[in-house]
Amino acid sequence: MKHEDCSEASLSPVSTSSPASSTSPLPDISTVVFDSERHSAVEPMPRELAKARILMHLELANQPNNLKASDDAYTRADVPELFDHFIDTAEAWAGSSECQRVLQTWSPSLSVMHTFLLHGMLAFSASHLQSFRPWEKKYGLAAALHCGLSLQGFSATLSQRVDHDNADALFACCYLHTMLALYNKSRCDQASMVDNDFAWLRGMKGIPILQRTNVLRPHLNHSIWLPVFVETKAYSAEIGHLPTPTNEHSAAFPQIEILRAQCQVNRLDPDNDENPYAIPLAHLDRLSRLSSIGNGQIGMLMVFIGRMPECFVALLERLDPLAMRILALWCDYAGQVEQWWCTGPARQEAARLRRILQRRETSKTPDTLA
């Protein structure tokens, strides 16, 4: 089997030519324990003060700027609702419990200093409200406006200055857009979507690329995000030995074994296998051995995307059937996570991939009645 270059250079806006473009392999801090005393001198800003400063910034920036007000228009008067919803939502809705805790505790304070995160926070809140109140158009307007402004500011920051002062805000924004990338994909017009549209995968790969950025590496052990980094097990230098299966009735087991044989993957040493299917299959195998998939396993689910090599994405864009079958199985697992941005969108993508596979397989079948 001919193997392709598996670099990540073109996978994400984070990897464009910018201060964040110089990267190296992830450090192994899988055994590091978060020390809260490192942050004892820094406390989150009181929420009402953060809200007031955010509203002042939006007023000075004239955002949102509604030239023609209507009953369903989104205005600055709606911002407090989005702000409060982001902080007060108690249900599982923003990744793992640790990720959600950090986002809700620190995002308001960081948003005062970093407007790209301010808009990311409001976009995430508006998108969540839109997901269960689709008839209220203001949420869709707010989500689109703030998502665009957040991505624009995030990209500008990456091209100008990346250092320890904005690292935590960059990671926060990246986590929000990782979840939004999957959710927003599900809202695209499915009829007009091209088969090889996998841009959403690139939108979900920002975190590991930021983690590999040389200028940020000294900050990782001191970041407010360290507990989240560690729980994902993304820092393990290698995939390592697979655990004994705890879910022996997993329907994915035989499928993974068949795929491994068809992909000619070296099961014993996937990290050193140049085969483009090796690492995705190894992570899929690890997921299949868990007793269940839920909010506590979101980090491990995201590692599948984060460590996905460029050559595997290239195979997907060429509609390689083996790559699509692997991704469809991952979507099956992601669809078990009961969060608004994940459950429906992941199941929808799994169904889309299998429709493409079935259609392409049918087109290759000779007409037996001819």
pLDDT recorded at residue 139: 95
The number of helices, as runs of H, and strands, as runs of E, in the chain is: 16, 0
Kindly report the pTM of this predicted structure: 0.85
CB 298 within 8 A of CB 96: yes
Expressed in angstroms, the distance from the first to the final Cα of the chain is 35
Bridge partner list, 23: 213
User: Tell me, what amino acid is at 121?
Assistant: M
Res 132 pLDDT > 50: yes
pLDDT of res. 212: 86
Handedness of CA 11, 13, 18, 23 (dihedral sign): negative
Alpha helices in 196-241 (DSSP H): 199-203, 206-211, 217-220, 226-231
Helix, strand or coil, per DSSP, at residue 310: helix
What pLDDT was estimated at residue 230?
84
CA angle 202/342/317 to nearest 5° reads 30
| 15-56: pLDDT as tens digits | 444 545 455 555 544 444 445 444 444 688 999 999 999 999
Q: What's the confidence (pLDDT) of residue 36?
A: 47
What does pLDDT average to over the chain? Answer: 82
Per-residue pLDDT of 351-360, as tens digits, reads 999 999 999 8
Which percentage of the chain shows pLDDT scores above 70?
Answer: 76
- Mean pLDDT, to the nearest integer, of 186-210? 82
SS3 213: strand
- Distances, alpha carbon 247 to alpha carbons 72, 290, 292, 299, in Å: 49, 6, 8, 19
67-76, 89-98, 190-199: least confident range: 67-76
pLDDT level of residue 11 (50, 70, 90 thresholds): very low
233: left (phi over 0), alpha (psi -120 to 50) or beta: left
> What are the tens digits of pLDDT across the range 72-104?
689 999 999 999 999 999 999 999 999 999 999
pLDDT of residue 240: 47
State pLDDT tens for residues 299-322: 889 989 988 999 999 999 999 999
Q: Tell me what pLDDT residue 1 has.
A: 53
Rounded to 5°, angle at Cα 292 from 289 and 295? 120
pLDDT at 187: 81
Checking if the pLDDT of 286 tops 70, the result is yes
pLDDT of residue 237: 42
CA distance 44 to 152: 26
Judged against a pLDDT cut of 80, whether residue 279 lies above it is answered with yes
Condensed to tens digits (0 to 9), the pLDDT of residues 106-126 reads: 999 999 999 999 999 999 999
pLDDT at 208: 87
Return the pLDDT at 274: 85
Any idea of the CA torsion for 142, 148, 150, 152, to the nearest 10 degrees? -160
Whole-angstrom distance, CA of residue 352 vs CA of residue 356: 6
Centroid of chain to Cα 109: 22
Residue 184 DSSP SS3: helix
Question: What is the pLDDT, as a whole number, of residue 292?
Answer: 82
